[in-house]
Chains A and B, each alone.
Chain A
Amino acid sequence: MTSPDARARTGAAVVVEDLRLAYGATQALDGLAFEVPAGSVTAVLGPNGAGKTSTVEICEGYRRPDSGRVEVLGLDPARDAARLRERVGVMLQSGGIYASGRALPVLRHLASFYAHPLDVDALAERLGLTTVRATYRRMSGGEKQRLALACAVVGRPELVFLDEPSAGMDPQARLVAWELVEQLRSDGASVVLTTHLLDEAERLADHVVLVDRGRAVLAGSPAELTGGGEALRFRAGPGLPIGELLPSLPEGSQALEESPGSYVVEAPVGAELLAAVSAWCAQHGVAPADLTTRRRSLEDVFLEVTGRGMRP
């Protein structure tokens, strides 16, 4: 059950089935199910309170669900915690580090728990921790996050859980963190990260699990989730017969006047669509203004599936 073959066969680093967890009257997880393909970066994406942290805490063996099944690297995280500890790296949503600890000593200390740790100086250099002199208590939010990220990966884990890794990071630090995650994947590790940042999920993840109110509402690659929602918009005089475009567009396309003078054509965006629209405009003697093409974002998908926006 624990052999690499078994994992290769199922192809999943983490399997979560029908997870339920209540804190008193709050049903935090309500039948959550998803899989993390081995060797992938999987983003568990959802608004605050969706149940992301509870989920990773269960996967880390820290919390037990009320019911449901969890398998991590082919093992049960609660029962086989001792065997998973050396194979799994963890970054908590916040904290985890001695308030009076300094970056390099703390990182060196954690590295000493492992048989084949990463080179501490190189890792610290890469994450910009070499010049951080403050104790953890006095570090900036971004410094704390970078140190916690370093601690999660220093033991060369097969699987890394990162709970909102880029929260509090400035854009530069975020880029450094993202590059690290991308390299972890290309070097063969599996990464599970939770985020409420759509751009982070779109940029980093091979696999996105959209979570709302303790349930996975959709899962797939960002392209799969956002595909089919492309549209071209422009403004022109009101009342033009935009429906005439339809015959020249692929089946399933839509063309309508959303509001007077504001047109939207929902179809795969490409040279053909642009040519068709230009020809139609020329035919009617109008010049399109404010022409934009846009792919659907994960936020649109979330809105469509849940009827609510990601941001309160």
Chain B
Amino acid sequence: MSTTTREPGALAPRPGAAPRGRIVLRQALFELRSTLRNGEQLLLTLAIPLVLLVGMSKLPASLVGSDRPVDVVAPGVLALAVVSTAFTGQAIAVGFERRYGVLRLLGATPLGRTGLLVAKTLGVLLVEAVQVVLIAAVALLLGWQPQGSWAVAVLVLVIGTATFSALGLLLGGTLRAEGTLAVANGLYLVMLVAGGLVVPADRYPAAWQSVVALLPSGALGDALRSVLAEGAGLPWAQIAVLAVWGAGAGLLAARTFRWD
């Protein structure tokens, strides 16, 4: 390969795209690396979930509503991991990438807009894989005894990812970057504290329980707890709630998403 671009013909046009799959994979890995190198993202996606996992599994059984707190806490922390990456992290990244013209420019390269969205989804799944492995490892060290089927749990994680990705893209694709930052972080906290993510729905006041059950956060938390803590099969009711939120957000995002 030439080591200078100055000789005549060195800049002669020779257009051509790399194989599509490879481009998307490169972009997904780039997104994964960006997340793992970003301090704020690491706080949201790994530090807070792990601290909660360790802290809450030491809470008195009466408070958690189980004599094995870690069994209830670990599924909720997995749900939080999904929200932190698919929703909060993705919305913030999209908001700033829009602001800085990154989405615009990448859309004009062979990656294209569709490729970019596929790569982002893949990137989210890769980050989640890292999260699940770390969270599960720490939980097992804390004595976690997961019940149910791993396949069902993974299916629920994927459905939750789709729903929260749609919500994240809806948020990040419409508001200004600062607005997205504030709302995405705010909702992360609200869902964590009041949305049934880590705290089981039945731990809230009775009036609030029915609301939590209809929130995507409550549905995802309860779905994972029913599978991994109680060994239940497919949690259809919660999947239905997630599907409705996901479809609604997805349709709205498709119409309102702005690339700049």
State the A residues within 8 Å of B (CB). 60-62, 81-82, 85-88, 90, 92, 94-100, 109-110, 112-116, 118-119, 121-123, 126, 151, 153, 155-158, 180, 183-184, 186-189
Contact = CB atoms under 8 A, between A and B. Distances in A.
A187 B8 contact: yes
A115 B11 contact: no
B112 A85 contact: yes
Interface string B1-15: 111111011111111
Interface centre among B2, B6, B10, B99 (most CB of A within 10 A): B10
B96 interface: yes
B110 A86 contact: yes
Nearest to B100: A95
Contact of A112 (B2, B5, B18): B18
Interface in B143-167: none
B109 A110 contact: yes
6 contacts: A112-B22, A122-B3, A126-B6, A156-B14, A158-B15, A187-B8
B104 A87 contact: no
Contact of B2 (A88, A97, A119, A158): A119
B101 A109 contact: no
A62 B23 CA distance: 21
Contacts of B22: 112
Interface centre among A86, A113, A114, A122 (most CB of B within 10 A): A113
A156 B13 contact: yes
Interface in B29-76: 30, 34, 37-38
A155 B15 contact: yes
B108 interface: yes
A157 B109 CA distance: 11
A186 B8 CA distance: 8
A61 B110 CA distance: 13
A98 B26 contact: no
Contacts of A187: 8-13
A96 B99 CA distance: 9
B17 A112 contact: no
Contacts of A186: 8
A65 to B, nearest CB: 17
Contacts, number: 126
B92 to A, nearest CB: 12
Given A113-B18, A115-B16, A183 B108 contact: no
Given A97-B105, A114-B18, A119 B112 contact: no
Given A113-B109, A187-B8, A86 B102 contact: no
Contact of A157 (B9, B15, B107, B259): B15
B38 A116 contact: no
A27 to B, nearest CB: 21
Contact of A109 (B6, B14, B30, B100): B30
Given A109-B30, A112-B23, A114-B18, A189 B109 contact: no
Interface string B94-126: 001101111011011111100000000000000
A155 B111 CA distance: 12
B108 A60 contact: yes
Given A114-B16, A151-B105, A189 B11 contact: yes
Contacts of B112: 81-82, 85
Contact of B11 (A62, A97, A99, A153): A153
A112 B5 CA distance: 18
Q: Which 4 A-B pairs have the closest CB atoms?
A: A115-B16, A95-B101, A96-B105, A86-B17
Given A96-B102, A183-B6, A119 B11 contact: no
Given A109-B26, A113-B26, A113-B109, A184 B11 contact: yes
A101 B114 CA distance: 22
Given A119-B1, A121-B3, A122-B3, A96 B101 contact: yes
Contact of A100 (B1, B10, B38, B109): B38
Contacts of B100: 95-99
A62 B258 CA distance: 11
A116 B14 contact: yes
Given A86-B17, A116-B16, A122 B108 contact: no
A118 B15 CA distance: 11
Contacts of A110: 109
A109 B34 CA distance: 12
Nearest to B103: A96
Contacts of B108: 60-62, 85, 88, 90
